[in-house]
Chain A
């Protein structure tokens, strides 16, 4: 099955700087990689996703890149703001796991003013 590792576990950035979170996956057949943001006491919210037929996807200040050869994908947040403070989870889905996602352990991002 799929195994997803996420780094770093905590990330502190100054407001306005960029944040990068990296995930690696084990199953070369994986074809879908979503990112979720979870604020304290709230549900995980899907913020961006990427499928294996593209290498990069952007949505305003967030972007995700995928390197299939190296089996890793990354979340990039530019011009960070205090409201970006949250736990971010990456996930991967194998084509043989039928819609089931394997989540990384999460990254606590703290944006300091």
Chain B
């Protein structure tokens, strides 16, 4: 597995509370992504980053924000968690050259919002 870790791996939180998930990589890859995985929907892109402080929205970005202050860290924040954000969240990374599309996934974070 590529050098990708996610923390926490499991979290239960209450509706309305802020939550931050962390993705950390040791591969020095330029691109980082946050996906959510729900039954019947595959993997849906929330936000992605193409460099330090460079981020953009994916297809399901409402209710989420991201930050990337260092190459190795990409943070996903739920400002005010809702039950619809209960999901498994995966971070992914890819290189910056012609192999940019080969994405490698972290171990995932299971988030439950009660």
Q: A residues engaging B (CB < 8 A)?
A: 1, 6, 32, 34, 36, 42-46, 49, 89, 91, 93, 98-101, 103-106
Contacts and interface: CB of A to CB of B under 8 A. Distances in A.
14 contacts: A43-B1, A43-B90, A45-B105, A46-B102, A46-B103, A46-B104, A89-B42, A91-B43, A98-B50, A99-B48, A99-B100, A100-B33, A100-B45, A101-B101
A93 B44 CA distance: 13
A105 B40 contact: yes
Nearest to A32: B101
Contacts of A105: 40-42
B26 to A, nearest CB: 16
Interface in B17-49: 31, 33, 40-45, 48
Interface in B45-94: 45, 48, 50, 58-59, 90, 94
A103 B102 contact: no
Given A105-B40, A106-B42, 13 more contacts: A6-B42, A34-B101, A43-B1, A43-B107, A44-B43, A49-B101, A89-B43, A99-B100, A100-B33, A100-B48, A101-B45, A103-B43, A104-B42
A105 B40 CA distance: 6
A90 to B, nearest CB: 9
Interface of B: 1, 31, 33, 40-45, 48, 50, 58-59, 90, 94, 100-108
Contacts, number: 49
B31 A43 contact: no
Contacts of A101: 45, 101, 103
Contacts of B48: 99-100
A34 B40 CA distance: 19
A103 B44 contact: yes
Contacts of B100: 99
Nearest to A93: B101
A45 B1 CA distance: 9
Contact of B102 (A34, A43, A100, A106): A34
